[in-house]
């Protein structure tokens, strides 16, 4: 089946009859299992990394565990709902969702709670909501809708490239006002990837990235604490007592874990490492479970990345393709940045590890987005004994080669023919 615009028939096949919500097809079981495993690892490690701190501060070692379980429950309820809802529904609410996210990002700058110099959250009854998380998902849905609807104009600078770039730019400016440079970079990265997949000219993409570099430079140089983070990144041991404290403590935690770790619950650095149960939970995994633990978590994210893009290239239409690719890219970039910071490859940035770090609205939005991804994955029929035997007899194909060939065939089908229509047989 060739991808078409959202909701349109393809080569005489009734898409509604094979809708992801019709029950004929099932969601990707491997993707679902990876999601459950990462979330379960997160619950265990949140308790392990926060129990002593919670006991000291709240006289209750289960304080963060209970809250995390509440967010996990809400997240899986949201995932169950989005997994059953036909993903084409989001094409109809792309603009209302985008408008809602925009209003919330504006409102948080006025009435949001301020923490550590940043104004990013709405707080109520001890719980907080970060509208930037909804903003990321809204941008993905908007881009998927726009790029699938204007699939023949992606090479046009004014009509195909500039509008989505301007919308993303407005959202990034609102994020920078909070300030939240990390989420802004993730949002910009997702936009660039989706525009690239849509077939936008590389000159447009490179020009946009070059134009953003001076803004990024000024945001770093003009903000003293960001500049200090860069200095700490270049030499964390020289600034170990101040600017580089988090990075140095993270590297010590990972180094002391060795190959197989100190044992679950036996971390020492969690007593000194700030945000041990959120942004730096991977460092505690490294200390308690060792290199094997970190490798296991990263392999699970690699499987999630593969199955996510696999769902994208097998989607029934272009909207599903861009939606699945955007959600997968969003989570992949966040995981890469978090792991890079923890391992000392990137400067310190406050981004949680998806599904693993302590919950909150981030976990709920991520699980809801993964529910949408699981719904897109239902485009492929469930395996039957005959189909399974046929695939085994044919043998598997290389991961990247298979993805490349699938995407190349998809792009070839969606390109309009450049040859003149035949006039043979026409008379008068």
Per-residue pLDDT at 280: 93
Per-residue pLDDT at 385: 52
Residue 254 placed within a domain: yes
Residue 11 placed within a domain: no
Residue 374 placed within a domain: yes
Over 80: is that where the pLDDT of 8 sits?
Answer: no
The DSSP element (H or E) to which 127 belongs, if any, is strand 127-129
Residue 423 placed within a domain: no
What is the token pair recorded at 288?
């308690």
Of 11, 14, 7, the C-alpha closest to 149 is 7
Angle between helices 281-313 and 29-58 (to 10 degrees): 160
- Whole-angstrom CA distances from 206 to 172, 185, 193, 212, 299 are 18, 15, 12, 10, 31
- Whole-angstrom CA distances from 31 to 40, 171, 298, 376, 393 are 14, 30, 14, 12, 24
Over 60: is that where the pLDDT of 410 sits?
Answer: no
Over 90: is that where the pLDDT of 222 sits?
Answer: no
Residue 299 placed within a domain: yes
Over 80: is that where the pLDDT of 23 sits?
Answer: no
Over 60: is that where the pLDDT of 7 sits?
Answer: no
Residue 415 placed within a domain: no
Tens digit of pLDDT for each residue in 229-286?
Answer: 888 888 888 888 788 888 889 999 999 999 999 999 899 988 888 889 999 999 999 9
Chain-wide mean pLDDT for the chain? 83
- At residue 27's C-alpha, the angle toward residues 148 and 294, to 5°, is 95
Q: What total of structural domains would you count in the chain?
A: 1
Residue 405 placed within a domain: no
- At residue 211's C-alpha, the angle toward residues 209 and 217, to 5°, is 90
Lowest mean pLDDT among 226-235, 288-297, 371-380, 401-410: 401-410
Tens digit of pLDDT for each residue in 320-364?
Answer: 999 999 999 999 999 999 999 999 898 888 889 999 999 788 999
Residue 119: give the domain boundaries. 20-382
Residue 224 placed within a domain: yes
Asked if 256 and 262 touch (Cβ cutoff 8 Å), the reply is yes
- Whole-angstrom CA distances from 362 to 94, 121, 347, 351 are 20, 11, 22, 10
In whole angstroms, give the CA distance from residue 343 to residue 242: 18
In whole angstroms, give the CA distance from residue 381 to residue 23: 10
What is the token pair recorded at 342?
């923890």
Tell me whether residue 190 is exposed, middle or buried, using C-beta atoms within 10 angstroms of its C-beta: 0 to 12, 13 to 18, 19 or more: buried
Give the pLDDT mean for 27-49. 95
| Cis check: omega of the bond before 266, within 30 degrees of 0 | no
Number of helices and strands in the chain (H, E) = 15, 3
Residue-wise burial string across 76-86, b where 16 or more C-beta atoms lie within 10 A, e elsewhere = bebbeebbeeb
Over 70: is that where the pLDDT of 95 sits?
Answer: yes
Tell me whether residue 372 is exposed, middle or buried, using C-beta atoms within 10 angstroms of its C-beta: 0 to 12, 13 to 18, 19 or more: buried
Give the pLDDT mean for 289-311. 96
State the alpha helices, DSSP H only, in 243-280: 245-257
Per-residue pLDDT at 73: 96
Of 321, 298, 297, 301, the C-alpha closest to 309 is 321
Residue, of 8 and 97, whose pLDDT is higher: 97
- Relative to beta strand 127-129, strand 118-124 is antiparallel
């Amino acid at each position: 089946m060739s991808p078409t615009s959202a909701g349109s028939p393809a080569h005489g096949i009734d898409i509604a009859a094979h809708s992801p919500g019709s029950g004929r097809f099932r969601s990707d079981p491997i993707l679902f299992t990876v999601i459950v495993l990462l979330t379960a690892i997160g619950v265990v490690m949140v308790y392990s990394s926060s129990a002593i701190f919670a006991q000291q501060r709240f006289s209750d070692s289960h304080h963060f565990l209970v809250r995390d379980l509440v967010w996990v429950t809400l997240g899986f309820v949201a995932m169950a709902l989005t997994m059953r809802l036909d993903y084409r529904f989001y094409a109809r609410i792309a603009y209302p969702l985008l408008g809602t996210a925009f209003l919330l990002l504006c409102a948080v700058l006025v009435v949001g709670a301020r923490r550590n110099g940043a104004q990013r959250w709405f707080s109520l009854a001890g719980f907080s909501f970060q509208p930037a998380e909804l903003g990321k998902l809204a941008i993905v849905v908007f881009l998927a809708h726009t790029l699938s609807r204007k699939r023949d104009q992606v090479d046009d600078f004014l009509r195909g490239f500039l509008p989505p770039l301007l919308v993303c730019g407005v959202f990034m400016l609102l994020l920078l006002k909070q300030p939240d440079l990390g989420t802004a970079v993730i949002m910009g990265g997702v936009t660039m990837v989706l525009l690239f997949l849509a077939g936008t000219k590389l000159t447009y993409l490179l020009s946009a990235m070059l134009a953003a570099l001076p803004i990024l430079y000024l945001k770093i140089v003009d903000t003293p604490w960001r500049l200090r983070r860069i200095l700490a990144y270049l030499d964390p041991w020289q600034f170990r007592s101040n600017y580089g404290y988090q990075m140095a403590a993270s590297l010590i935690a990972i180094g002391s874990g060795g190959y197989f770790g100190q044992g679950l619950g036996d971390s020492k650095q969690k007593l000194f490492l700030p945000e041990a149960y959120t942004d730096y939970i991977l460092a505690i995994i490294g200390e308690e479970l060792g290199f094997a633990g970190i490798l296991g978590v990263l392999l699970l994210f690699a499987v999630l990345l593969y199955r996510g893009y696999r769902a994208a290239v097998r989607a029934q239409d272009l909207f599903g393709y861009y939606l699945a690719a955007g959600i997968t890219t969003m989570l992949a970039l966040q995981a890469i940045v978090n792991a890079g910071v923890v391992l000392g490859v990137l400067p310190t940035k406050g981004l949680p590890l998806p599904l693993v770090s302590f919950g909150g609205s981030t976990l709920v939005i991520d699980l809801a987005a993964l529910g949408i991804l699981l719904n897109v994955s239902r485009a492929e029929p469930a395996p039957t004994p005959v189909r399974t035997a046929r695939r085994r007899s044919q043998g598997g194909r290389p991961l990247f080669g298979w993805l490349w060939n699938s995407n190349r065939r998809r792009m070839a089908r969606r390109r309009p023919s450049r040859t003149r229509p035949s006039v043979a047989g026409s008379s008068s």
